[in-house]
């Protein structure tokens, strides 16, 4: 096994870790309008993720940074190729980040309602765009001999990629509903538990269409196995949700996200950005990676620091393990 | 070629705008972070409630500011790939490593512990809570370190070789990149400037409150007490950080005279090689003829700055440009950076930075009697200090009034200095993006259309303008009323395993 094969796995782990973690906080953002009935309930939901969303978001910064270091060409082709979708994501992430911090910083209905709308829309659009981007990567893009994307913006909005966007949005929202059931108490918890199967069913149907399409187009034996895992995990999550075992339900809805994105990465390997113009122009792990020295340095850094990150981020979740109910929200804004 | 230049121009505007904007928040977060950490330490150690109020007050302003720093930072990382994909391909092997380390080592630290600090006030034991703000500060300092290491590679490439088959830079020595002299000096200079920035911010706002108190517009003794401690703390930091910024700045300019002589020649508008070389105070130059039309100079001072003696020759812009023409081809003009921006950027950086330092020094001297000397000079802990000229004479009303105002009005000076510092250092490097290895024109994404670039530039200009208004509005809203002295510190030291009854109380702080 080459170092760049290992690095393909590590990059996949970072992206998948990002989708697992920020997946539910995007979901919570969507639910603030989909499920919360009033101002206080919206605050309950936001406060379930308030202490942790920032740490979750760093996973994408790490994923992008690690891609830059380990696969400069992958990073360059992906980020210049998806210029407009990434522009939209950037704007959303910037607006979303300040929306949490600034919403309660002033009283006044209009101010707060506006920031709540920002939280909602950015939580809808960002997962959709990530889904669209990764679906396009799997599908292949018009990449020329210089490793640059030369297609039009419109080409990125094809049926398969749009379906990928909706799958991601639905899955994250479902993951968020289960997280809400896990972290809240009282009536809102019951409602989240009842909403989860509905979102689960929508996700399942969309996933069936999208993942089967992927499997038929570019699947292999491994991806088939992982695809089945993702379906089963979602069903198991629904099962635990019905039993009221929200912790386990959350683990399995997370597993669904992990398996679905893992499947995408598996269908890619050993390519990282397939070219539709000429298979010889595709970016692969070997022709777009850094030299072994850089990969070695990065492997050491990752081996030391990622476990450490998991440790202290895990501790944060433990410190804020308490369920939040409407009566815990202090009056004021 | 013309199209490539237009592409480059838009991409550079976007990079310049987003970087300067991002860098308004970063040094302030670092500087304010240290001050908040110091004040919380004082609270934990002494138990004095004024330190608690001060911590909470500056902490709130820190959070408003950190939020912007964090979100605008994502933009910085993404745009290397979006707008500068050929740059990313060329140096990704080297440049990507410190960037990824920043995320993995520093940024995770900062953003995880900031959550714990914001929401952990009544949930974490005091000392653990205090440790969290130190983690945040260490994270932000490390973050600055890795980014500056990456930038220093662009200014002075080391620890690499050019792969003969791919023609790309390849990392050969990570220690060289992380610990080269450019990196270390730049880090020191940037961090001390950041402390000065935080100190000036605190100085300005504290001065505003104390000036109000002086005129009887605020009579709350706890608030005055908290602001007085903040002011003194900030004045001390401003003076120490100011001296260190100047010393490291001098060291940095010597490093640059050696590594990027063109940048320093441009900073001085020194066209021809001179021995001894004069330091320019004011000049108006003409790039076409390669000479200054007007020049006001201090003889031999530049030789001293560059080489530590009063006679060494310092090569001028024309000499350096011709050297590069011989080495890389092309014309003389191609190798001359924007002289106007580098010359004035350098001067304005020094002027705004040193003014803040001077005001800190003056403030420290003017307020000295109340705190250090004879107890008979001391008033209560909760009175605004009287500004003293000598042991016996207090300043008259007019000067007092203006002293306080100047302190308040100059709170943003270091922010301006920081911005000019970056503009100078980045524009002085042109036309190179990686010094002597890749030009900025060659670094741009070849496949991104002009329409996409313009969309992005406009979108970010609008978004950043809106956020600037919101940010300034919020800072003013929270800075104006001063510390909330009704807020009570946690009654007993919280524990990690609260009783069932404690756990069911409303949250002490929620979004």
B122 pLDDT tier (thresholds 50, 70, 90):
confident
**pLDDT at site B373:** 62
User: Token pair 């792969």 is at which residue?
Assistant: B163
Phi, psi for residue A327 in degrees, rounded to 5: -75, -5
Q: Look at B71 and A298 and tell me if their CB atoms are within 8 Å.
A: no
- Asked if residue A302 is part of any domain, the answer here is no
**pLDDT at site A25:** 92
Tokens representing B462 are 């609008």
DSSP string, A99-118: HHHHHTTS--HHHHHHHHHH
**What range does the domain containing A265 cover?**
3-292+323-328
- Asked if residue A309 is part of any domain, the answer here is no
pLDDT at B372 over 80: no
Local structure of A291: helix, strand or coil: coil
Q: Look at B123 and A320 and tell me if their CB atoms are within 8 Å.
A: yes
CA A58, CA A53: separation in Å to the nearest integer? 9
- Asked if residue A310 is part of any domain, the answer here is no
Say how many residues make up chain B. Answer: 511
Q: Which residues of A touch B80 (CB under 8 A)?
A: 68, 75, 79
A244 pLDDT tier (thresholds 50, 70, 90):
confident
Partner-chain residue, chosen from B80, B118, B448, that has the shortest CB–CB distance to A83: B448
Tokens representing B9 are 């121009």
CA B408, CA B412: separation in Å to the nearest integer? 9
Residue-wise pLDDT tens digits, A109-148: 888 889 999 999 999 999 999 999 999 999 988 888 888 8
pLDDT at B428 over 60: yes
Q: Look at A313 and B112 and tell me if their CB atoms are within 8 Å.
A: yes
Q: Which domain CATH number covers A173?
A: 1.20.1630.10
Number of structural domains found in chain A:
1
Local structure of A244: helix, strand or coil: coil
Question: How many CB atoms sit inside 10 A of residue B376's CB?
Answer: 6
Q: Which residue has the higher pLDDT, B190 or B257?
A: B190
Q: Complex ipTM, two decimals?
A: 0.90
**Counting beta carbons within 10 angstroms of the beta carbon of residue B125, is it exposed (0 to 12), middle (13 to 18) or buried (19 or more)?**
middle
**pLDDT at site B300:** 76
Q: Are A168 and A128 in contact (CB under 8 A)?
A: yes
CA B347, CA A182: separation in Å to the nearest integer? 58
B62, B74, B104: which to substitute to probe chain A, counting the most A Cβ within 10 Å?
Answer: B104
The helix, strand and coil proportions of chain A, stated in percent and rounded to the nearest 5, come to 80, 5, 20
CA B338, CA B287: separation in Å to the nearest integer? 9
Q: Which residues pair with A275 in a beta bridge?
A: A141
DSSP string, A57-87: HHHHHHHHHHHHHH-HHHHHHHHHHTHHHHH
A196 pLDDT tier (thresholds 50, 70, 90):
very high
**pLDDT at site B378:** 67
- Asked if residue A313 is part of any domain, the answer here is no
pLDDT at B193 over 80: yes
Residue-wise pLDDT tens digits, A282-317: 888 888 888 899 999 999 999 999 999 999 999 999
Closest residue in A to B453 (Cα) is: A83
Q: Which residues of A touch B131 (CB under 8 A)?
A: none
User: B88 CA to chain A: closest CA distance, Å?
Assistant: 6
Closest residue in A to B78 (Cα) is: A79
- Asked if residue A185 is part of any domain, the answer here is yes
- Asked if residue A308 is part of any domain, the answer here is no
Tokens representing B327 are 């080495």
Residue-wise pLDDT tens digits, B295-333: 777 777 788 777 777 777 788 888 888 888 888 888 888
Q: Which residues of A touch B508 (CB under 8 A)?
A: 330
CA B23, CA B73: separation in Å to the nearest integer? 9
CA A195, CA A181: separation in Å to the nearest integer? 10
- Asked if residue A90 is part of any domain, the answer here is yes
Percent of chain B with pLDDT over 90: 45
- Asked if residue A315 is part of any domain, the answer here is no
Residue-wise pLDDT tens digits, B23-36: 999 999 999 999 99
Local structure of B65: helix, strand or coil: helix
Partner-chain residue, chosen from A43, A64, A324, that has the shortest CB–CB distance to B78: A64
Closest residue in A to B458 (Cα) is: A87
Partner-chain residue, chosen from B74, B83, B171, that has the shortest CB–CB distance to A61: B74
Looking at every residue in chain A, the average pLDDT score rounds to: 91
Percent of chain A with pLDDT over 90: 62
Asked if B111 is an interface residue toward chain A (Cβ–Cβ < 8 A), one would say yes
- pTM recorded for the entire structure: 0.91
Max Cα distance, chain B (Å): 81
**Contacts with B231 (C-beta within 8 Å, 6 or more apart), sequence order:** B202, B203, B206, B207, B210, B363, B367, B385
CA A322, CA B120: separation in Å to the nearest integer? 12
CA B70, CA B74: separation in Å to the nearest integer? 7
């Amino acid at each position: 096994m080459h170092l760049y094969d290992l690095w393909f796995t590590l990059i996949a782990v970072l992206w998948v870790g990002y989708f697992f973690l920020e997946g539910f906080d995007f979901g919570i953002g969507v639910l603030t309008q989909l499920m919360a009935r009033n101002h206080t309930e919206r605050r309950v939901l936001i406060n379930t993720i308030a202490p942790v969303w920032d740490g979750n978001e760093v996973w994408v910064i790490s994923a992008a940074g690690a891609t830059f270091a380990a696969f400069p060409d992958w990073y360059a082709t992906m980020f210049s190729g998806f210029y407009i979708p990434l522009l939209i994501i950037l704007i959303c992430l910037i607006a979303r980040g300040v929306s949490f911090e600034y919403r309660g910083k002033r009283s006044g209905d209009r101010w707060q309602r506006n920031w709540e709308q920002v939280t909602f829309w950015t939580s809808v659009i960002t997962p959709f765009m990530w889904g669209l981007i990764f679906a396009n990567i799997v599908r292949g893009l018009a990449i020329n001999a210089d490793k640059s994307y030369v297609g039009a913006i419109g080409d990125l909005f094809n049926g398969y990629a749009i379906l990928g966007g909706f799958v991601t949005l639905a899955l994250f929202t479902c993951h968020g509903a289960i997280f809400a059931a896990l972290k809240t108490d009282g009536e809102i918890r019951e409602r989240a538990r009842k909403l989860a199967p509905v979102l689960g069913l929508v996700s399942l149907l969309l996933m069936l269409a999208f993942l089967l399409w992927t499997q038929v187009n570019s699947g292999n034996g491994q991806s088939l196995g992982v695809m089945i895992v993702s379906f089963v995990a979602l069903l198991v999550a629904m099962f635990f949700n019905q039993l009221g075992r929200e912790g386990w339900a959350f683990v399995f809805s997370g597993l669904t996200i992990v398996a679905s994105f893992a499947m995408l990465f598996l269908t890619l390997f050993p390519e990282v950005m397939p070219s539709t113009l000429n298979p010889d122009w595709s970016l692969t792990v070997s022709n777009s990676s850094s030299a072994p020295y850089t990969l070695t340095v990065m492997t050491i850094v990752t081996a030391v620091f990622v476990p450490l990150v998991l440790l202290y981020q895990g501790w944060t979740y433990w410190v804020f393990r308490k369920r939040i109910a409407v009566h815990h929200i202090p009056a004021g804004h | 070629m013309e199209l490539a230049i237009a592409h480059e121009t838009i991409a550079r505007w976007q990079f310049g705008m987003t970087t300067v904007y991002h860098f308004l928040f970063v040094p302030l977060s670092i500087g304010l972070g240290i001050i908040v950490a110091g004040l919380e330490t004082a609270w934990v150690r002494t138990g004095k409630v004024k330190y608690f109020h001060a911590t909470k007050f500056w902490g709130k302003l820190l959070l408003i500011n950190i939020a912007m720093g964090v979100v605008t930072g994502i933009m910085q990382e993404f745009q290397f790939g979006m707008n500068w994909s050929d740059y990313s391909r060329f140096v990704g092997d080297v440049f990507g490593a410190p960037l990824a380390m920043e995320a993995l080592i520093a940024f995770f630290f900062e953003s995880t512990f900031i959550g714990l600090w914001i929401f952990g006030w009544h949930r974490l034991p005091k000392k653990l809570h205090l440790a969290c703000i130190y983690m945040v500060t260490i994270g932000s300092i490390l973050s600055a370190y890795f980014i500056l290491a990456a930038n220093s590679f662009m200014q002075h490439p080391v620890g690499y070789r050019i792969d003969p088959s791919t023609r790309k830079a390849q990392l050969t020595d990570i220690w060289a990149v992380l610990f080269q002299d450019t990196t270390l000096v730049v880090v020191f200079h940037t961090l001390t400037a950041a402390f000065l920035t935080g100190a000036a911010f605190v100085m300005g706002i504290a001065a505003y409150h104390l000036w109000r108190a002086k005129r009887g517009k605020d009579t709350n003794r706890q608030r005055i007490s908290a602001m007085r401690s903040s002011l003194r703390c900030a004045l001390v930091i401003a003076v120490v950080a100011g001296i260190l910024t100047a010393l490291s700045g001098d060291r940095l300019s010597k490093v640059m005279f050696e590594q990027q002589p063109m940048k320093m020649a441009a900073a001085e508008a020194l066209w021809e090689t001179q021995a001894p070389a004069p330091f320019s105070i004011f000049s108006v130059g003409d790039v076409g003829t390669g000479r200054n039309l007007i020049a006001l100079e201090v003889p031999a001072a530049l030789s001293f700055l560059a080489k530590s003696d009063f006679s060494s020759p310092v090569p001028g812009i024309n000499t350096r440009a011709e050297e590069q023409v011989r080495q890389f081809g092309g014309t003389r003009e191609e190798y001359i950076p924007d002289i106007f921006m580098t010359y004035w950027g350098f001067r304005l950086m020094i002027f705004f930075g040193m003014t803040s330092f001077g005001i800190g020094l003056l403030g420290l001297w003017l307020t000295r009697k109340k705190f250090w000397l004879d107890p008979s000079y001391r008033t209560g802990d909760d009175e605004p200090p009287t500004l003293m000229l000598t042991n016996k004479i207090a300043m008259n009303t007019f000067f007092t009034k203006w002293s306080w105002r100047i302190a308040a009005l100059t709170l943003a000076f270091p922010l301006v200095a920081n911005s000019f510092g970056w503009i100078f250092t980045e524009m002085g490097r042109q036309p190179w993006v990686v010094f002597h290895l890749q030009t900025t024109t060659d670094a741009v994404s070849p496949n991104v259309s002009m329409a996409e670039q313009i969309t992005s530039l406009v979108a970010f200009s609008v978004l950043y303008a809106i956020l600037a208004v919101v940010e300034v509005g919020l800072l003013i809203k929270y800075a104006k009323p001063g510390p909330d002295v009704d807020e009570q510190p946690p009654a007993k030291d919280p524990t990690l395993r609260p009783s069932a009854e404690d756990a069911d109380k409303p949250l002490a702080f929620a979004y």
